[in-house]
Amino acid sequence: MSTTKTEPRTTPASFHDNPFDPDASITVNLSDDNPATVSLPSLNPTTAKPRIIGVTELVLRDAHQSLLAARMGIEDMVDTCEDIDKAGYWSVECWGGATFDACIRFLNEDPWERLRTFRKLMPHSRLQMLLRGQNLLGYRHYDDMVVDKFVEKSAENGMDVFRVFDGLNDPRNIDQAMKAVKKVGKHAQGTICYTISPVHTVEGYLHLAGQLLDMGADSIAIKDMAALLRPQPAHDIIRAIKETYGNNTQINVHCHSTTGVTMATLYAAIRAGADVVDTAISSMSLGPGHNPTGSLVHMLEGTGYRTDLNMECLGRVREHFARVRPKYSQYETRVLVESDIFRTQIPGGMLSTMELQLKEQGAAHRRNEVMAEVASVRADAGFPPLVTPMSQIVGTQAIFNVLLGRYEKLTTEFADLVLGYYGRTPGDINPDLIVQAQEQTSKTPLCGRPADHLAPEWEDLVRTTKELEGSNATTQDVLTYAMFPDIASKFFTTRTQGPINVGKTQAQLVAEKESRLSGDLTPVAPITYNVIMGGRRLAVKVERA
């Protein structure tokens, strides 16, 4: 990160409304394996007292987003909410961009109604959402007033914890949303997106954490969307934050499990001082999803750290989703572990998209050239993390470079990225590309906060939404329209028909399987039969009418 250095904060962030006092005296069930006669070094030399680790349950948002393309309907969640509510999680993540999108795009479900349902069914839990900073839940920057309204309405409808991030880690894209969360008195979680590159250092992440705390962050999340965070860097970043900003700075760690490494990362993170970690109930875990909640509980046995989760509740939640998951098997990702990303730097989803693009161009054989070009384009673009939308922007430009010649043509999006329209990239951008992008697009480079260049838009959004068929003209509807104008317009017209469950019931699955197995009894191609009629044997050709 190329941001300028500020002085470290002297006042530590407080552990806001956290029921788990890290300094409380807690009785830990020490393992029977603790030896009586052998002198062993303590695993946990810096913490004299046992410590409760908070857990954020991901099953209602990121788990089904990562495993089942965000398709799970509210109908398949409501029955288990009581057990989730009573399990003792630090928070329950249940709302975010892809699930909001899927609600109105595929499920004919009002995402605000979903939020209110969660609020009603889980009265004792902190509800948590993922917010893309100035992008909110959409794919562009919004004017500050839209940001304020969105946060206000989310809080009003039941949201407690806002995890605010920006894909480029540009704090200027996070600032307004953090302010809005503070204004409504909710938990503002500032987020560090973790990635690996020559310009991403512990020092840089530490500096970003300081900027987030200066915005009033109640906690710092380390978000590892590509499962690249290994134990040692996790330890280093967490120790650095705790030592610089105080041990009471709450740190939440969010890892995916794609690379098979991150269960050890959670272990190292907790030992380094992480306060809350994210997991998903085991029947909705692993692969491109997350580490299993139950495994985390058991992993900590005897370490001097423990969760405070109710295993009976966890067992019922696990069984619930074990029953539900097969309904959505058509949306399942099959990849179980994928550690090659450490070498190639290309996440699996990005790779398959690029392969498809190449195939469509009849250039599938140039895959390896494109893979090498990705690294080069990413470097030229200042090492953005390869997540949406950066992965698409960098991948497509790499394909252009291989097929047409290096930077013969810049895509519109790549030019925008280079000119600063997405925000400040972590490293410096190749200056030749900035010149070229200006020439190609006639746009000027943007140096300030991207959202400062936006015109006010709230009144227009209100006006347009009011005119839409089926719109209730509530602020929520205006916000839904603002996020996804095209699909929201369509959704409003069908909303009254109620939610569609795109999963398949057991009966449907069985019926489909049987119909596949028995086949259509009418032959599809002409077949010659021997037919006996009135004692005469005839060869008869039969075909479908």
Q: According to the binding rule CB under 8 A, does residue 297 interact with a second copy?
A: yes
Q: According to the binding rule CB under 8 A, does residue 107 interact with a second copy?
A: no
**Any idea what DSSP says for residue 76?**
G
Task: Give the Cα separation of 431 and 421 in Å (integer).
Answer: 16
Residue closer to a second copy by CB (options 17, 33) is 33
**Any idea what DSSP says for residue 280?**
B
Within a 10 A sphere around the Cβ of 24, how many other Cβ atoms? Answer: 11
Contact range with a second copy by CB under 8 A, out of 84-92, 145-153, 176-184, 193-201: 193-201
Q: Counting beta carbons within 10 angstroms of the beta carbon of residue 90, is it exposed (0 to 12), middle (13 to 18) or buried (19 or more)?
A: buried
Footprint (CB under 8 A) of a second copy, residues 500-519: 516-519
Cβ at position 191, least distance to a second copy in Å = 18
Task: Kindly tell me which residue out of 4, 25, 31, 496 binds a second copy, with binding defined by CB under 8 A.
Answer: 31
Contact range with a second copy by CB under 8 A, out of 53-61, 107-115, 353-361, 528-536: 528-536
Footprint (CB under 8 A) of a second copy, residues 336-365: 336-340, 342-343
Per-position DSSP letters for 227-271, written without gaps between them: S---HHHHHHHHHHHHHHH-TTS-EEEEEB-TTS-HHHHHHHHHH
Cβ at position 27, least distance to a second copy in Å = 17
Q: According to the binding rule CB under 8 A, does residue 540 interact with a second copy?
A: yes
- Residue corresponding to tokens 């609600």: 103
What x/- string results for residues 274 through 293 when contact with a second copy is judged by CB under 8 A?
A: --------x--xx----xx-
Within a 10 A sphere around the Cβ of 410, how many other Cβ atoms? Answer: 21
Helix 475-483 × helix 458-467 angle, to 10°: 100
Task: Kindly tell me which residue out of 36, 48, 447, 455 binds a second copy, with binding defined by CB under 8 A.
Answer: 36
| Residues 125 and 157: beta-carbon distance below 8 Å | no
Cβ at position 541, least distance to a second copy in Å = 9
Cβ at position 203, least distance to a second copy in Å = 5
* Pairing verdict, β 527-533 and 305-306: unpaired
Task: Give the Cα separation of 97 and 114 in Å (integer).
Answer: 13
Cβ at position 199, least distance to a second copy in Å = 9
Q: According to the binding rule CB under 8 A, does residue 203 interact with a second copy?
A: yes
Footprint (CB under 8 A) of a second copy, residues 223-282: 230-233, 235-237, 239-240, 243-244, 259-261, 263-268, 282
| Residues 241 and 191: beta-carbon distance below 8 Å | no
Residue closer to a second copy by CB (options 497, 518) is 518
Cβ at position 231, least distance to a second copy in Å = 6
Q: According to the binding rule CB under 8 A, does residue 134 interact with a second copy?
A: no
